[in-house]
Amino acid sequence: MTGKDEIQVVVARPGKDAVVESIVPDLKSYQDMVGGYIEIIALPKDRAVMVVNGEGKRKGLPDNRYIMSEQGKLVDTLTGTIFVCGVSKDGKFCSLDEGQIHNLLERFSNRHLFTATNQEVLGVYERYFEKGQEREL
């Protein structure tokens, strides 16, 4: 249950499964969640945005999730804590609905990877890494 002025988001921390948390919808809360300046990645298929630390790689934050090409090649690495929230028609961050939460918790489960086409994150590419070896799920 969210407080009166909070929104529900899906949070993914490095090495952990995603969880639902409530945050106050303001820049300070977003920056506190990711640990620094925010960068926004559109998730058009989900009617949502993913918020990451814009300096995460430079600061050496731990790897969190991976973006892969449709051919299975690594495109990018998301580092540090990330969260996903909804976007209202006027472009403001808002709570995710129950359907979005269900889908995102499944897609952001630990060790899942995302596929990207034309710089849009489209969905999960289900693979994981075990002791440096890549293996299909």
Per-residue pLDDT tens for 28-86?
999 999 999 999 988 888 889 999 999 999 999 998 888 777 777 777 888 999 999 99
Residues 6+ apart with CB under 8 A from 36: 53, 54, 55, 56, 59, 80
Instruction: Output 95 or 45, whichever has higher pLDDT.
Output: 95
Which residue type occupies 129?
Answer: F
Rg (CA), the chain: 14
Q: For the chain, what is the mean pLDDT?
A: 80
| Residue 69 within a domain | no
| Residue 91 within a domain | yes
| Residue 134 within a domain | no
Query: Of the given ranges (51-55, 105-109, 114-118), which has the lowest mean pLDDT?
Result: 114-118
What are the phi and psi torsion angles at 94 (to 5°)?
-145, 175
| Residue 93 within a domain | yes
Please identify which residue in the block is written with the tokens 């990207």: 116
What mean pLDDT do residues 9-22 have?
93
Tally of structural domains, the chain: 1
Residue 99 domain boundaries: 7-62+79-113
DSSP class of 70 = T
| Residue 122 within a domain | no
pLDDT tier at 107, thresholds 50, 70, 90: confident
| Residue 22 within a domain | yes
Q: Which of 105, 113, 110, 106 is nearest to 134 (CA)?
A: 113
pTM: 0.77
| Residue 74 within a domain | no
| Residue 68 within a domain | no
